[in-house]
Structure 1
Amino acid sequence: GEWAAKQFTEMGLKNVKLEKWGPFGQGWENTRFAAHMVEPTYSPLIGFQLAWSAGTNGPVTGEVLYAAIRTEADMEKWKGKLSGKILLMEPEKEIAPQDRASMSRYTPEQLDGMFLAPDPGQRSPFGMPPMAAAAGAPGRPPMNREQMMSLRRKISEFLKSEGVLAVLSLPYRGDGGTVFGASAGSREVKDPIPPASVALTPEHYNRIFRLVQKKIAVKVELDVQAKFFPEETDSFNVIAELPGSGKKKDEIVMIGAHLDSWHGAQGATDNASGSAVMMEVMRILKALDVKLERTVRIALWGGEEQGLLGSRAYVKERFADRETMKVTSEHGKMSAYYNLDNGTGKIRGIYLQGNDMARPVFEAYLAPFKDLGAETVSIRNTGGTDHQSFDAVGLPGFQFIQDAVEYSTRTHHSNMDTYDRIQRGDMMQASAVIAGFVYHTAMRDEMIPRKPLPKPQPRPADGAKPLPTE
């Protein structure tokens, strides 16, 4: 964050600051990871530690045991039997042949299909996150989020009290050495810390599982070190501006991307790439020395990976509380927010988030970039990133359509999300497209059209609605 703020200052941007928000919860850092199967034969293991789980306090070696602990009854069944063990808690995963290329770009037919409303039964390409999957796991009844989190805390407490050395787990997707994973514990200081939790590539997890099922003794050696930072529970967003100089200088055009990432690698495509593009947009606009009618503001968000926390805190303070829909005076001065957070792929268009009144505006903005492959204006919504914080309170918030490249197959929350996966040409194209959008939005006579204000969205009562089971 301090580095980004320094870059903004050196660009000549104004009102550069790190804006605190909170509470986020305690920080966490993995400082060492080594994993090996040492019996019945030696094999190095590919994986990484899951966030907010404990370290092993130096190298440890333990016998591996399969114990499917999903309910309180399971905890009672395994009580007194787990001390000094390294656990497998999931059955093996079937690995299908890799019959498709891991790299992809949108075809003309796929982009044409985006003009249509989506099939309501369509599933996310990223698969089901582990926590949602757990809610409908075999042997476990459907449960709401509070029930699920309560059970998760009980299991963490149980494993710790029983003296479990570590838990080995399957990634929620991926194979071939690509491991996708995020967290196993909670950032809340008061919550129990689970034993060291390690996601392994499915090939290595399955091998261990099969040996255990055949009653062949397996021992694994782990050296996992982690640090917790309970003393600092706030986080921050990085903010900077190009002030407007016209009659509309009190009105705002915002761009943003999240600066935080998961720890399996560098977070290059999620979301250093998006942050870098948005920083480049500001550099371009500053270098052109154009006199902007409206103020252009950039935000690099914190806490996106834990639930859009940084952007939600910012929107609540500056624009509106989505639970009450009481709006501030700044709400009426916000023209649009543009977000980038779908990997390193070039821009192919923009999602309207159901705001069809913006279609002719964006079609005009995209027209100069048709030869660069950006021309699709889709009525569809897209989720999972910070434009939703703005859209939720009736502000025009948009995410660009990007080529997938290797996002869902290789890099998103994985141990392969490194600088090497960045596509330089794609990011240059994205910077040019967004700079065009921002310039025209800042200079437009009218603000970007809006949808009607949404109704208040109070938090659901505990137990109000169970999670889906599939």
Structure 2
Amino acid sequence: MTLRKNHHWQKSSKRIGGVRKFMAAAPLVLFAVPAAGQQTDDMNRVIDQGLQHSQVMQVAQYLTDSIGARMTNSPQMRRAEAWTQWQFRTWGLKNVRKDGFPFGRGWSIQWSSVRMATPRVIQLTAMPIAWTPGTNGWVTAPIVVAPMKHERDFEAWRGKLAGKVVLVSLPNDGDEPGDAPFKRLTDEEIHKLDRYHQSEYDPAGIERQSKRFAFRAKRDAFLKSERAVAWARMSYRDGKLLSGEGYTYGVGETPALPGIEIAAEDYRRLARLAKTGPAPVLQFNCNVKFDDSDVNAYNILADIPGTDARAGYVMAGAHLDSWVAGDGAADNGAGTVVVMEAARILSSLGLKPRRTIRFALWAGEEQGLLGSLAYIEKYLATRMPPSGKPLTGEDAFLRWPYTFPIKPLPGYKDLVAYFNIDNGSGKIRGIHAEGNVAATSLLRDWLQPFAGMGANTVVSSPTDGTDHVFMQAIGIPAYQFIQDPLDYGTRVHHSGVDTFDHLKAEDLRQAAVVLAGLLLESANSEKALPHMPIPTQRPVTNPFKYEDPKDD
């Protein structure tokens, strides 16, 4: 799977040298605190190390301010891969390595500028969309507002797009929030999560979503054939927030035309001007760079070895990759530094757990949980579609959980617990049992020492959209934490304000202590969390449902 491993490692070694030199000038991240006497209870030592000697914010500051946004296979992600390995080794972890899987092209923004030139000059809040090509210099062109969601929309715009910047989103009237953007969960809100959810299997819905993904390539081909010069979409949130999300990372999938995301307020202004008078003219320059020197992405893995090789291992993970509108601080620099700090805490105490404790920093999460899926297929279980061809990209995200049969690999039973953290900077309030009712009492026992820190609830409900999902889909006891939302969903998630300033030090210290404690409990416990049954092919949940043709 590591197609160009040797070439890439030579380049990474040079970067490690640069990081080593820098970090020597920043000793806060490096020095280890002597462990307390062995007569002290191990859990008290974890709490003391994590709260009184924390290094979580120093690590977060370097990751976000110095390295910055980490889109998979970008130059910044390569720096993060090298630095996190070096940091794990500095803290004394063992078997530190990068674990590769096929991904696609590297892409980064060198710089960009977008302005309205007529009817007056305004600098717009806008950015290139990930993995779209650059402009090769300044481009000046009028806009046309041509919303397109389906192939049937193409005919209305045939012959009208040549030389234009095509605004493909339908303008709306705004989405000013009705609630405060920053909040913490109340006990009542947490307890409402304790509801068992029956999952659904809707193959028609999966097909609809697959068609939506495929539509992007068809729209790009249409715009190219009509000789448009670029396309633009409206940001999905107000407040001048951008995300720049894009998914055409595969080799051979790069669009023909530059794509630009424009802040909602600026986009609506352009649309109003186009509606009431001559279409505005844009001037823009998108200077982006592709890197095809290594098409593999890399998960970062590190271990604290256990004393009983037959007891298996427990694992904690967060995704290291991010989008590039901001610095990837809350999503998911926060989870990354909590996992790293938990590793530092446990390693610094010189503990000898019964089970190995493994730490994972995933790549490709933002493109469909690709890094954790690659780990599963390499070490835990495989699922092969009827076509016999492995699922890739967004099709893997959509179809992998519903592909049968599941074939456990020899390492399937070795992983006895996985804990994932990926909900921003808020403190841990509890854990989702993901419908594993047999695990709830043990999870409650393990959380009990942290009740005074606010982490004391186990709820039945599942969560989705992050790296524990595919482990759950093969029956592994894999869990995501309940966290205070803060301003994660309202303005930080994937946006340009996802910076260090939105990280909360007290919350991150608490989260690292809780995670380290749960890992220690699960690594030493005589009892193991029960696996769920390995799923098998299931019938459609609602065989009587009629599909709405408007959804196509």
Would you call these one fold, judging by a TM-score over 0.5?
Answer: yes
Structure 1 CA distance for aligned equivalents of residues 199 and 188 of structure 2? 20
Structure 2 CA distance for aligned equivalents of residues 350 and 251 of structure 1? 22
Q: Identity of paired residues, percent?
A: 37
Pairing 1:130-149 to 2, within 5 Å after superposition: 144-149=208-213
Q: 1:401 is matched by which residue type in structure 2?
A: I
Equivalent residue number for residue 221 of structure 2:
157
Gaps of 5+ in 1: 122-134, 137-141, 459-464
Equivalent residue number for residue 170 of structure 1:
234
Equivalent residue number for residue 353 of structure 2:
292
Equivalent residue number for residue 10 of structure 1:
90
2:286 is paired with a residue whose SS is strand
- 1:127-186 deviations in Å (ceiling 9; x for gaps): xxxxxxxx99xxxxx9634433443212111212333222221122x2112223411x51
Equivalent residue number for residue 200 of structure 1:
262
Decide whether aligned partners of structure 1 residues 175 and 262 sit closer, same or farther in structure 2, where only a CA change above 3 A counts: same
Gaps of 5+ in 2: 1-80, 384-403, 540-545
In the alignment, structure 1 residue 319 sits paired with structure 2 residue 401:
no
Q: Verify the 8 A CA contact 1:104 1:404 in the aligned structure 2.
A: yes
1:249 deviates by 5.6
Report the count of equivalent residues: 442
Equivalent residue number for residue 187 of structure 1:
249
Equivalent residue number for residue 82 of structure 1:
161
Partner of residue 51 from structure 1, selected from 130, 135, 147: 130
Structure 2 CA distance for aligned equivalents of residues 120 and 388 of structure 1? 13
In the alignment, structure 1 residue 406 sits paired with structure 2 residue 487:
yes
Structure 2 CA distance for aligned equivalents of residues 456 and 88 of structure 1? 43
Equivalent residue number for residue 340 of structure 1:
421
1:196 deviates by 1.9
Q: 2:316 is matched by which residue type in structure 1?
A: I
Pairing 1:233-252 to 2, within 5 Å after superposition: 233-245=295-307, 247=308, 250-252=311-313
Q: Verify the 8 A CA contact 2:243 2:323 in the aligned structure 1.
A: no
Q: Verify the 8 A CA contact 2:233 2:262 in the aligned structure 1.
A: yes
Pairing 1:371-382 to 2, within 5 Å after superposition: 371-382=452-463
Equivalent residue number for residue 260 of structure 1:
321
Equivalent residue number for residue 62 of structure 1:
141
Structure 2 CA distance for aligned equivalents of residues 13 and 143 of structure 1? 44
Decide whether aligned partners of structure 1 residues 314 and 366 sit closer, same or farther in structure 2, where only a CA change above 3 A counts: same
Structure 2 CA distance for aligned equivalents of residues 69 and 370 of structure 1? 51
Partner of residue 19 from structure 1, selected from 89, 96, 99: 99
Equivalent residue number for residue 451 of structure 1:
532
Equivalent residue number for residue 128 of structure 1:
none
Q: Verify the 8 A CA contact 1:395 1:450 in the aligned structure 2.
A: yes
Q: Verify the 8 A CA contact 1:325 1:456 in the aligned structure 2.
A: no
Give 4+ residue runs of structure 1 displaced > 6 Å after superposition.
Answer: 465-468
Structure 1 CA distance for aligned equivalents of residues 515 and 267 of structure 2? 43
- 1:203-252 deviations in Å (ceiling 9; x for gaps): 1111110010113331111111112234532111101100012x356510
User: Please, which moves more after superposition, 319-328 or 283-292?
Assistant: 319-328
Pairing 1:390-469 to 2, within 5 Å after superposition: 390-455=471-536, 469=551
Q: Verify the 8 A CA contact 2:305 2:352 in the aligned structure 1.
A: no
Q: 1:272 is matched by which residue type in structure 2?
A: G
Q: CA RMSD in A?
A: 2.4
Q: 2:280 is matched by which residue type in structure 1?
A: V
2:521 is paired with a residue whose SS is helix
Equivalent residue number for residue 344 of structure 2:
283
Structure 2 CA distance for aligned equivalents of residues 80 and 118 of structure 1? 50
- 1:37-83 deviations in Å (ceiling 9; x for gaps): 12111211112221111211111111111122344444344333322
2:272 is paired with a residue whose SS is helix
Equivalent residue number for residue 461 of structure 1:
none
Structure 2 CA distance for aligned equivalents of residues 97 and 260 of structure 1? 29
Pairing 1:211-250 to 2, within 5 Å after superposition: 211-245=273-307, 247=308, 250=311
2:347 is paired with a residue whose SS is helix
User: Please, which moves more after superposition, 144-153 or 345-354?
Assistant: 144-153
Decide whether aligned partners of structure 1 residues 346 and 187 sit closer, same or farther in structure 2, where only a CA change above 3 A counts: same
Partner of residue 270 from structure 1, selected from 331, 348, 352: 331
Equivalent residue number for residue 367 of structure 1:
448
Decide whether aligned partners of structure 1 residues 267 and 75 sit closer, same or farther in structure 2, where only a CA change above 3 A counts: same
More helix by share: 2
Q: 1:45 is matched by which residue type in structure 2?
A: L
Q: 2:208 is matched by which residue type in structure 1?
A: N
1:361 deviates by 1.0
